[in-house]
Copies of this chain bind each other. A is one copy, B any other.
Amino acid sequence: MAELFRGLEHAAAGQHTALAEVLNALPFNEDGLLPAIAQDAESGEVLMLAWMNLAAIERTLAEGYACYYSRSRRTLWRKGETSGHLQALRSMRFDCDGDTILLKVAQTGPACHTNRASCFYLEVQGDRVAVLSEPER
């Protein structure tokens, strides 16, 4: 774990560190990415997981809308740029060792590309997996 995050483990509530220092200490993986969880700021529903590189984090903070890195297209991708289903940023958090990002967002329309509110619509029920919701129309 990076020294900076280890040093914050016992920190009291309210202690601050410069954002630039934290961004500099983030333990990006070998592809330069970290997983980012998007959670609905109102309902608490977990909407999706995507990936961010440093540029995606900086653009998300600068513009106030979630911007991810597309591993398939190898490019930055503002969520909703084609669908209109934008995610307005309410807060950005890092976890204890800095290797996961949590975005609380105000989601416009459905978060999932299937037109469902959340991407997590497949639930294990005994020895079967059930579809929990239908695509919105």
Contacts and interface: CB of A to CB of B under 8 A. Distances in A.
Identical copies of this chain, number: 2
Contacts of A113: 96
A21 to B, nearest CB: 8
Nearest to A93: B120
A10 interface: yes
A43 B43 CA distance: 10
Interface in A12-42: 12-20, 22, 35, 37, 39
Given A10-B114, A94-B120, A129 B19 contact: yes
A124 B122 CA distance: 32
24 contacts: A8-B131, A9-B114, A9-B135, A11-B134, A12-B134, A13-B132, A14-B130, A15-B130, A16-B125, A17-B128, A18-B128, A18-B129, A35-B35, A35-B49, A37-B37, A39-B46, A46-B46, A48-B95, A61-B124, A92-B123, A92-B124, A94-B122, A95-B119, A96-B113
Interface of A: 8-20, 22, 35, 37, 39, 43-46, 48-49, 61, 91-96, 98, 100, 102, 112-114, 116, 119-135
